[in-house]
Structures are given as C-alpha cells and as structure tokens.
A = this chain, B = another copy of it.
Amino acid sequence: MIAARNLTVGCRKLLSTSAYTVRSHTCDELNASNKNEKVSVMGWLSHKRMDRFFVLRDAYGSVQAKIQENSELKQLLKELPYESVIRVDGTVVDRGENRNNKMKTGDIEINVEQLTVLNKASVNIPMLPDVKSNEKTRLKYRYIDLRSDKLQRYRLQLEDDILVSLYRALRIRSEFVHNLRKFLVEKSGFVDVDTPTLFRRTPGGATEFVVPAPPPNHGMAYSLPQSPQQFKQLLMVGGIDRYFQIARCYRDEGSKGDRQPEFTQVDVEMSFTTQEGVMQLIEDMILSAWPESLIHLKPKSPFPRISYSEAMTKYGIDKPDMRVSWQIEDVKTNIFNFLKKNDGDKIRVIVCRGAGKTPISNSTKDEWKRLIQMNENGRNFAICHPSHKTWFKSLKNEKILEEFGLTEEDALVVCWGESDGVYWTLGQLRNYVAEICGLRSKNVVTAHWVVDFPLFSFEEGHLVSTHHPFTAPVDKDKEMLYDEDNDRLLQITGQHYDLVINGVEMGGGSIRIENSEMQRHVLKILSEPTEEMEHLLNALSHGAPPHGGFALGLDRFVAMLTSDGNPLTPVRDVIAFPKTKNGKDLMSDAPTTLSKKQLERFVKQNLNELIKFIFPDTVSHCYRMIRKADSFYCSVC
C-alpha cells in the first residue's frame, strides 16, 4: 500500500516536472517550506466549498486554494463547472490549526490573487463515479477514465486505500520499459533496432492482418507480423549480435479471451549463446528493471527450472501456478477400487489443504463441469469435500480421510481415465479450487522456467511445432530429426523455454536452428511450404551464427506487476487505448466502414482476383460475357 502510494512521487525524484511549462510548481509539491512564495499552479477544479475554497488537482496531486472574502473571483468560482482547467496565481500560506493531515499538501493553502479559466469544462461532464462503472462507458470516455482514476486515487488516499488505476499502470509501464532499456543498452551492449511492421505473408500459423499495398503493387498486400521473429534472426546473420526491440505485434484472431489485436513484446536475440545464457539474461533483465515501488513483489534469482514433463506430472499444466503448493499424487493403494474404471485407466488425486473451509456451491460445481467439458476427451472426477456429504459418502470417506490425512478443513480431488485427460483435468481443477477457495499466496510473484518441451506435437493427425518451426532440437536429439518415424520425432526435445509467473506464460524463447539444411528439413517434416521462406533459408546458408532469444509479453507482465501479482488485471487495464474483445475502439469508433474511395481502390487493384472469386468457375462464361474493360455490364440488357 505504502509502496504504491510512494509511486506518486517516487519517479519524480530529481525531476523538474515543471521545466518548459508556465507553472511554478506541480500541485503535490507545495509545503510549509514554500510559505510566502508566489506560485503559479494549474490543473483541474476538483472541489469547491463556501464559494471561496477549492481544490486544484493536477497529474501529481492536489492543493487547496482560498479566495479572499471580498473578492469578485467568488462569483467566477461559483459558476465554474468541476473539471474546468484553471490557473491559480497566489501566495502560499500556512494553514496553521486548520491543516489537513490527510492531504500531502495539507499544511498549506494558496491565497488566490488571480484565477484564470484556461478551459471551461462542459457542465454535463460524464465524470465516472467508480472504476467499476459500466466498462463500455469507461472505454468510450477513456480520456476521462485516465483522469478520474487519478481523482479517485486522490480521494482514496484520504481514506488510506489504494486502487489499481490506469494512470498508475501507465506510469509503472513507462518506468519498467525504461529500466529494461537501460539494462540492455547500458549494461549489456544490446542494440535497439526497429524492424518493419509492413511485412509479407508467412506460411502456417494464425491469421494475419492484411494491408493492401499502394500502387504500383496491384493485387498485392503486406501482412502485419505476429512477431519480428524472422527479422531478428536475419539481424543475427547480419552480425548485430545483441539485438532488442520493444516491438508492436499483431494477431487477427477476433475475440479470444483477454487478447488485443495489437500487443507489445520485449523482443531479444543474441548470437553465440546457449539456452542457459538467454534465461540468465532475461532473469537479470527483469530483476534489474523491476519498479522500485513494487520491490516487495520482486522474486529471487535464479528462477527455478522445471521440465515440461515434471510440470505435467506434478501440476497437470505447462504453466503451473506456484502460489499453490498442491501437487498431483499417485494412489498407491486400492482404496478407489470401487470406482468404475476402464482397463488402463489412471487414477490420480490432489489433496487441497485448506479447501474444505470454503463451502462449494452448486454453481461452482457447474463451473467445474464446464471446465472439464472444455477438453474434448471425456473424463471422470470426484471431489471429497466436507460440504458435499453424498460425494463424501460414496467415496467411503473414512478410509480416504485416513489414507490422505484429510481433516474437515481439506478437500480431495480424484480423477480417473486416460492418462493425458487425468492430468489435464487435475491441472484445471488445481487452479480452479485454489481460486475459488482463495488459497493462492497473495502479493507474491513466483517466477520459474519451464524447459525441455517436446519439439513436435501431434494435432489433428499432423505433426506440428510445439512452439514454432525455428526452434532447434537439443544436441543429443539432432540425429533423430532424420528418422522417418513420427513416434521418434515426438520424442525429440526442443531448446525452448517458457517464463511462467503466477501461472501465466509471460514469454518464451528458444535457441534457433542456424543450419539452413536442418531448417529446410524441419519445414518438410511439418509439411510447410518452403517457397515463402527462401529468404530466411538463404540467409542461414550465408554464415549464420548460432543464436537464440526470447520474447516477453509486455502487456501481460505489466498487468501482473500492477495487480500486485494477484489477481491478474486484464491487459486492457494497462494499455492507454485498448480495444474490446471484438476488436473495437469504443472511443474513436474504430474500425469504420470502408469509404467509397477505399473500396474503389481495393477493387481496382484486385479486380481480376475478385472476379474469379465472386463468379465460380462453372459460370465463368457468364463472367466473360458481362465483363468489359474494368467495368461490368449485363449482356442481356
């Protein structure tokens, strides 16, 4: 709490935040030492009292001002709407016994000599009462939301409370990014390189945003990249051996959870390194950049390493939340023999210490069922929980209590079925039970690395890259790439590493394939066409150093920081102007319909393709009949 409040002034040490402006001070910095000083302060009109007293608020804090009893300014103040922007010229005076201890500047006030209205606010200003206001309204008036969060923080400070405000989030974000840069540039010799966002279509992967190209590139389009992956590898080939970029990335995925169509990643790549080298760099980078005001959340180095298979066996998920200690356990006895199982079914449990204290409602049960149904394979589970007597009974509770040392304060999750499904289900339930029972450690950031992922996975009958096709296999498995046996290929371990914080994948990276021939072979295994990747394959054959890197999801990371680690703030709360789940910017009303001019340009550039597309092959003779030059006419008319 204190730390968060410090932030208001924390970043401003030694800064001249009034330099280059016409104010003499910011509203927060006046105190008894300024007594008798002539000051000029400016900001928003926040409170009025008795037509004489008012509070002026700016980006940094607030201060009380007082108009003289007999001044004509009283009338001006009376009629002035809240949130008008004003300038106050006056003299600082001691409030003496009337001081306000709850206000940082409460020792003093300003005797107003001049009050200038810089910009009168409209009277029906939609100032929002609460950050929990209707989210659509907040997004539409984002610019006020920014300011009102500050207002609220000011108010809440009076009550010694704190709020995760957008305003605060943006400042923490700026500080964190600046610290990152200082570490990379000043301490570690990295070069900040901008790479293009108007790029080419890449084979495979998710849908990309398409940008029709200007003339003379008729019928052609750029694609907005999902990451600077290819560019950073090309920079390594070019000898920029320590590269980074805070890169804008794009994914055209429509509405998928808490994702934005454009997002920011801290993109790092290095030559002549190893998996361990990159992981150490990223740890040092994150810890060195950790905002001072959030020091109580800073995790210790080194972050523990856990293998993918251990994560799956112990936590049923590749991004385990270590704020809960519960692990998946085998059942050594035949205590669950009464359950209806198929041959080969596995049975595993999680003992949820402390989870018995929270009653489990029917709606919670429904949520469990929904969670389970998310996975395509049906599987069985049961919960032993003090508040569900029937389940308890059917599971022969006495013996079970004894077997797992359960008390009335605990719960037990039992799951049986096919191996993968059992682990998956328990992984989901582990998170869910911890969440609803509030049993995750609070104000804690647990960071660790998940390593040793399989290079390939099997999806819908096809071999796919577990991460992306540029990841190198570990040295000892390189030979196996040339086995023409899917089972063998699936056993190959990739040099990939994920950074998981509080159960969220914050970023990932890998050592890349630097050998052109091996890269070509991997694309062949994946049935990816190589024609569209020839520039990269070529580059790799022209003296590519061994290299690897990492990408940190900045939005997610800042969301984690600003929410004191728990619960996770939605990323749109740490982005100045976010879009809704449907990709809409409610403030400016983007996207818009295509203007006639825009459509005309697109059609003219893509006429041949459009015609072929709109008129199916079977009626192509019809198309021939009615097309004349670049326009269309009905051959019948």
Please tell me if A544 contacts chain B, counting CB pairs below 8 Å. yes
Among residues of B, the one whose C-beta sits closest to the C-beta of A84 is B543
Known contacts being A210-B212, A613-B600, is A588 close to B199, with CB within 8 Å? yes
Whether the pair B171, A178 counts as a contact (CB closer than 8 A) is no
Bound CA span A185–B175, Å: 8
Bound CA span A513–B80, Å: 21
Please tell me if A391 contacts chain B, counting CB pairs below 8 Å. no
Minimum CB–CB distance for A617 against chain B, Å: 12
Please tell me if A306 contacts chain B, counting CB pairs below 8 Å. no
Known contacts being A17-B242, A196-B262, A200-B589, is A622 close to B634, with CB within 8 Å? yes
Whether the pair B609, A545 counts as a contact (CB closer than 8 A) is no
Whether the pair B242, A542 counts as a contact (CB closer than 8 A) is no
Bound CA span A540–B242, Å: 44
Binds B, one of A246-254, A292-300, A347-355: A246-254
Please tell me if A405 contacts chain B, counting CB pairs below 8 Å. no
Among residues of B, the one whose C-beta sits closest to the C-beta of A126 is B542
Minimum CB–CB distance for A539 against chain B, Å: 5
Whether the pair A238, B142 counts as a contact (CB closer than 8 A) is yes
Please tell me if A636 contacts chain B, counting CB pairs below 8 Å. yes
Whether the pair B238, A143 counts as a contact (CB closer than 8 A) is yes
Among residues of B, the one whose C-beta sits closest to the C-beta of A282 is B20
Please tell me if A337 contacts chain B, counting CB pairs below 8 Å. no
Whether the pair B199, A585 counts as a contact (CB closer than 8 A) is yes
Interface residues on A, range: 35 or more
Bound CA span A310–B490, Å: 74
Whether the pair A589, B11 counts as a contact (CB closer than 8 A) is no
Q: Using Cβ atoms and an 8 Å threshold, which residues of chain B touch A594?
A: 210, 219-221, 606, 609
Q: Which of A36-94 contact B (CB under 8 A)?
A: 42-44, 58-59, 83-85
Bound CA span A15–B498, Å: 27
Minimum CB–CB distance for A198 against chain B, Å: 5
Please tell me if A122 contacts chain B, counting CB pairs below 8 Å. yes
Binds B, one of A102-110, A415-423, A444-452, A571-579: A571-579
Q: Which of A143, A191, A224, A242 counts the most B-chain CB atoms under 10 A from its CB?
A: A143
Q: Using Cβ atoms and an 8 Å threshold, which residues of chain B touch A84?
A: 543
Please tell me if A237 contacts chain B, counting CB pairs below 8 Å. yes
Whether the pair B214, A254 counts as a contact (CB closer than 8 A) is yes
Please tell me if A563 contacts chain B, counting CB pairs below 8 Å. no
Bound CA span A535–B210, Å: 27
Known contacts being A590-B200, A603-B610, is A543 close to B44, with CB within 8 Å? yes
Whether the pair A270, B541 counts as a contact (CB closer than 8 A) is no
Bound CA span A130–B599, Å: 45
Bound CA span A16–B592, Å: 50
Cβ-defined partner of A593 (8 Å) among B83, B85, B220, B234: B220
Please tell me if A401 contacts chain B, counting CB pairs below 8 Å. no
Please tell me if A587 contacts chain B, counting CB pairs below 8 Å. yes
Among residues of B, the one whose C-beta sits closest to the C-beta of A11 is B189
Cβ-defined partner of A235 (8 Å) among B143, B250, B615: B143
Q: Which of A495-516 contact B (CB under 8 A)?
A: 514-516
Cβ-defined partner of A142 (8 Å) among B215, B234, B261: B234
Whether the pair B281, A200 counts as a contact (CB closer than 8 A) is no
Bound CA span A270–B565, Å: 32
Whether the pair B619, A610 counts as a contact (CB closer than 8 A) is no
Whether the pair B582, A216 counts as a contact (CB closer than 8 A) is yes
Please tell me if A280 contacts chain B, counting CB pairs below 8 Å. yes
Q: Using Cβ atoms and an 8 Å threshold, which residues of chain B touch A197?
A: 197, 248, 262
Bound CA span A602–B192, Å: 36
Please tell me if A144 contacts chain B, counting CB pairs below 8 Å. yes
Q: Using Cβ atoms and an 8 Å threshold, which residues of chain B touch A599?
A: 606, 609-610, 613
Q: Which of A183-238 contact B (CB under 8 A)?
A: 185-189, 191-201, 207, 209-217, 219-224, 230-231, 234-235, 237-238
Q: Using Cβ atoms and an 8 Å threshold, which residues of chain B touch A211?
A: 209-211, 224, 591
Known contacts being A610-B603, A615-B632, is A222 close to B591, with CB within 8 Å? yes
Q: Using Cβ atoms and an 8 Å threshold, which residues of chain B touch A126?
A: 542
Please tell me if A553 contacts chain B, counting CB pairs below 8 Å. no
Whether the pair B220, A592 counts as a contact (CB closer than 8 A) is yes
Cβ-defined partner of A119 (8 Å) among B20, B144, B177, B514: B514
Minimum CB–CB distance for A221 against chain B, Å: 5
Show 24 A/B contacts (Cβ-Cβ < 8 Å), sorted by A.
Answer: A20-B188, A85-B545, A118-B546, A142-B238, A144-B237, A144-B542, A146-B238, A147-B543, A167-B240, A178-B186, A193-B576, A195-B576, A197-B262, A198-B250, A198-B261, A199-B590, A200-B589, A200-B590, A217-B584, A219-B593, A221-B591, A614-B614, A619-B633, A622-B637
Top 9 nearest A-B pairs (CB, nearest first) are A146-B238, A622-B634, A200-B590, A213-B591, A15-B189, A17-B189, A220-B591, A83-B543, A121-B543
| 10 further interface pairs, Cβ-Cβ under 8 Å (given A42-B272, A215-B254, A234-B587) | A42-B545, A59-B240, A118-B546, A141-B542, A143-B237, A144-B539, A174-B193, A198-B591, A603-B610, A610-B614
